[in-house]
Amino acid sequence: MSTNFKMLQPFTLPSGVALKNRIMLAPMTNFLSHDDGTVSDKEISYYKERSGGVGTVITACANVLAHGKGFAGEIGVDRDEQIPGLKKLADTIHAEGAKAILQIFHGGRMCPPELVPNEEILSASAVPAEREGSKTPRAMTDQEIQDTIHAFGEATRRAIEAGFDGVELHGANTYLLQQFFSPHSNRREDGWGGSLENRMKFPLAVIESTQAAVKKHASEPFIVGYRVSPEERENPGITMDDTLQLVDELAKRNLDYVHVSLSDFYQGSMRDEEPTPRMEMIKERIGHLVPVIGVGSLHTPDEVEKALETGVPLIALGREMIMEPRWVEKVQNGDTASIRTTLKKGTQDELVVPEPLWSTIFNVPGWFPIED
């Protein structure tokens, strides 16, 4: 077994949870749960195949309320009836030697109407997303906001009861937490909108609700992380200056990590030509206060090691772990030359990538490097 890689070194999170290494399975939508949000056998097989080498598995997002369902085949954590399936998932991940983190979220205006009650989508304000086919959401009432904050706490309780080691609050990728923070989707004139400070209130209240549930229900250290997208293309939209002020607040909240959502680890601004990597800016701002997780197009062990050399202590691999479920094991065994960095047709069963995820990958141009 190779011990020369920094990625294979253990890491202890602020809560005291010890990770066996610094590689995490990134949260990636897989469309594999049952229609009622319960975990399916296909989903169990998919995670089992990818949990053996990584130190931590962060699951695909799980909706905390019925009107927060963002995808077909999404895990649910909005009802106690879902706990047994979630427990089976956590147990499966643990049996392979990894810590299990449930990513929890609400899709807000990005929810397909056909997946939510009465086909009524909700958000901070009645402003549709700037993409083709987007529907106009209804602005949430103050009571609905309070109910959603409470729901994140209840989802955390269910994750604890199911045996997960933590939760990740999905404040990225245009979903509800980000929608409240964004000046594009949040045009409210009450205490939940307007100023930057007011736009932060909802995500910070969700963190508070989540941590209160941990304090009440967890009998041992429990991970709470937060995922953030650095910028938005829209005008008005989230700027890097906005995000740096947000992460300043996140760093004060006793989180275990801040997970930066990027398609490329070294990605510069999506708003202008400013080339400084967004990851670097966030790490320099708060990395001395809270661990920062890096992610994005790091396919080979050398690329991961180079990313760790920037001072980011943890790396999440997403597409890489779909193409090569045994990525970490191959590094451990010195078999790095055989790590697959493309997806070949005809390898679906070998890679344990069930339908409809497999077909979706091949139907989205540019998502994965495809090899005939």
CB 60 within 8 A of CB 69: no
Mean pLDDT calculated for residue range 226-243: 98
Give me the sign of the Cα torsion angle 154, 155, 161, 165: negative
pLDDT, position 1: 42
Statement: residue 37 has pLDDT above 80? yes
Alpha carbon distance 208, 206 (integer Å)? 5
CB 321 within 8 A of CB 25: yes
Q: If pLDDT is split at 50, 70 and 90, which confidence band does 4 have? A: confident
Token pair listed for 51: 């949990």
Q: What is the pLDDT of residues 135-184, one digit of tens each?
A: 999 999 999 999 999 999 999 999 999 999 999 999 999 999 999 999 99
Residue showing tokens 């809560």: 15
Strands 99-105 and 166-171, sheet pairing: parallel
- All domains of the chain, ordered by start, with CATH? 6-339 (3.20.20.70)
CB 148 within 8 A of CB 65: yes
Alpha carbon distance 118, 110 (integer Å)? 15
Q: If pLDDT is split at 50, 70 and 90, which confidence band does 234 have? A: very high
Alpha carbon distance 61, 27 (integer Å)? 7
Annotated catalytic residues are 175
Q: Torsion over CA of 200, 201, 206 and 207, rounded to 10 degrees?
A: 70
Picking from 54, 38, 61, the residue whose alpha carbon sits closest to that of residue 94 is: 54
Q: If pLDDT is split at 50, 70 and 90, which confidence band does 3 have? A: low
- For the entire predicted model, the pTM comes to 0.98
